[in-house]
Structure 1
Amino acid sequence: MLVILTDEQILSTQQVCQGCLLANQEGSPRWHHGKLDCGHALRSSGNHKLALYQCQMGFKVANIE
């Protein structure tokens, strides 16, 4: 599940990505083959339970399995 992390909240990608020009046609982040295509990886945990990315718009996106 992809979520947006802020300093104070965890937000649904639907709340943030709907208005993004880089989102896919459904208004979701461009997630393809296990990576965020509209951003870059910041870190990944060793057990692959959490992957952290930063999108082109500056938001931190976490993939939580």
Structure 2
Amino acid sequence: MLVILTEEQILSPTQVCQSCLLADSKGQPRWRRGKLGCGHAIRKLTPHQPEQYECEMGFRIANLE
């Protein structure tokens, strides 16, 4: 499950990506084959952190499994 992390909240991508020009036709991040197509991976600080990405709009997206 993809979530958007802010300093104070965890948001659904639907709340943020709906108006993004880089989102897919359903207003979701472009997630393909386990990678975010509209952003880049961020290095993990610990092995226990989920995979995190920074989208082109500057939001941090985590893949929670």
TM-score under structure 1 length normalisation: 0.91
Unaligned runs of 5+ in 1: none
Q: Which runs of 4+ in 1 moved over 6 A?
A: none
TM-score under structure 2 length normalisation: 0.91
Q: Among all aligned residue pairs of Structure 1 and Structure 2, give the percentage whose two residues are the same amino acid.
A: 61
Unaligned runs of 5+ in 2: none
Q: CA RMSD in A?
A: 1.4
Q: Matched residue of 1:61: which SS? A: strand
**Aligned counterpart, 1:5:** 5
Shift of 1:46: 3.7
Report the Cα distance in structure 1 between the residues aligned to 2:31 and 2:37, rounded to whole angstroms: 6
**Aligned counterpart, 1:61:** 61
**Aligned counterpart, 1:41:** 41
Which one is further off, 37-46 or 22-31? 37-46
